[in-house]
Structure 1
Amino acid sequence: MYKVFVNDKPLFLTNEISKETDFQLFLLESIDIKQLIIKIFQNKIQKAFLYHPDEKEIMKTLKSKIPVSKAGGGLVYNKKGEVLFIFRGGKWDLPKGGTEKGEEIEDTAMREVEEETGVGQLRVTKKLQKTYHVFKRNGIYKLKITHWFEMQSDFEGIPVGQIEEGIEKVVWIHPNNISEILKNSYENIKLLFEEEKVSL
């Protein structure tokens, strides 16, 4: 099953029909995806399931219905075990951004971390899950697939937010304070930390 966030609300892509009643179920093959996204953005739908019988075809089918934007991002730890967060648009987030032509996704993630926060001396320690969310740019809805990497940094300077990307603050957060920060973050970002807890 995949979770795609639309306006921070979950759209579940599944090949199983469960007996829950608090969601709307649609057939992925026949759904007008744009109409569904608009309804979610208008708060007419809080949670929806898109059903497709073949799990291998689910993401392929969704990608055929909506343009895809690929991004890379970093969950960065410093020597003290603190995590790098950015504050943008009123919420806490992790540094990420779109790939450039011909760029490997791991390189995208490291470049974006450095551009958005000024933090260098990065090395990837492991690949994390991908997250999915829908955003609107120039009147077009797109599916953003972000490839996340856990990174370590030996950087000891002061992080600086990329102003042209609207980043107001860049801070290192102690693990004990992360749950507080996540209260004002995105569902996709929370998912990454659920995964981190499992691996700690």
Structure 2
Amino acid sequence: MNKYRIYINENTLFLTDTLPEQSNQLQQLDLQLFDFLTFYKNLDKGSKNQYVLLTEDPKAVYKTIKKNCMLIKAAGGLVRNADNEYLFIFRNKKWDLPKGKVEKGEKMKDAALREVEEECGVKILTIGDKLCKTFHVYEIGNKIVLKKTNWYDMTVKGVPKLIPQKEEGITKAAWFGKDELKPLLENTYLLIFDVLAAGKLF
């Protein structure tokens, strides 16, 4: 199944060639009438709705959306220590995973490694394959931004002390076991669930 999942605050827009199983919970949009900028402008940013756009070519629709936005590429990691705990950061009053923007000419994987090490003061031991990619839309000034983030599986040696990068607004960095994630997941972003699912944490 070819699909994209784009998050806009607490709303989700699915671009798919096959209706998801929970399609009764989704509001289906008319492909012929769909215009992303109109959809975005009229969207209640405080709502928590799920929309689906059924199309034979989700990639083509995604490319059209991308043309209407300023694209920012980012990369980050799901980092595991020797005690099978995972690295989370606290920034902008929410729990998150370390990530950051890809610099010009930089490879996504290299950016993921650099950003995790900078944001948390750790040395990454291994970086594996890409777990998944996530998409979310937000505004900077009067520009609509589409952020595409590649996420990678990473490990560190032992259980290193973490040093949160305060100048990046990170107030905490901490290790959590799988059984300690529930309170974090009550105060995180929807796309983090995709990364954790790709990492088989649930």
TM-score by length of 2: 0.87
Which deviates more, 132-141 or 49-58?
49-58
Give unmatched runs, 5+ long, in structure 1: none
Cα distance per residue 1:77-108 (max 9 Å; x no partner): 11111100000111110000110011010000
Partner of 1:168: 171
Residue identity matched to 1:88: R
SS at 1:197 equivalent = coil
Q: Relative to 1, partners in 2 of residues 1:94 and 1:44: Cα closer, same or farther, differing over 3 Å?
A: closer
How many residue pairs were aligned? 198
The aligned counterpart of 2:195 is: 192
The aligned counterpart of 1:142 is 145
| Alignment pair present for 1:10 and 2:31 | no
CA distance in 2, matches of 1:98, 1:79: 28
> Residue 101 of structure 2 contacts residue 111 of structure 2 at CA under 8 Å; is this kept in 1?
yes
Q: What is the identity, as a one-letter code, of the residue corresponding to 1:144?
A: K
Mapping for residues 33-182 of structure 1, pairs under 5 Å: 33-43=36-46, 46-154=49-157, 156-182=159-185
Partners of 1:6 and 1:41 within 8 A in 2: no
State the Cα deviation string for residues 111-169 of structure 1 (Å, max 9, x = none).
11011111113320221010111121122111111000010111644211111211110
* Deviation of 1:178 (Å): 1.8
Superposition deviation, residue 185 in structure 1:
1.0
Post-superposition offset of 1:45: 7.6
CA deviation after TM superposition for structure 1 residue 22, in Å:
4.8
> Identity over the aligned pairs, expressed in percent?
37
2:29 alignment partner AA: L
The Cα shift of 1:23 comes to: 1.1
1:23 to 21, 27, 38: 27
Distance 1:115 1:77 in 2: 16
In 2 relative to 1, CA 189–124 (structure 1 residues): closer, same or farther, beyond 3 Å? same
Cα distance in 2 for residues equivalent to 1:91 and 1:165 = 14
- Indicate conservation of the 8 Å contact 2:11/2:47, yes or no: no
CA distance in structure 2 between the partners assigned to 1:112 and 1:101 by the alignment: 14
Contact 2:9 2:45 in 1 (8 A): no
> 2 CA distance for matches of 1:125 and 1:43?
36
The aligned amino acid for 1:4 is: I
Contact 1:120 1:155 (8 Å CA) reproduced: no
Deviates more, 1:92-101 or 1:60-69: 60-69
Q: What's the C-alpha RMSD, in Å, of the aligned pairs?
A: 2.3
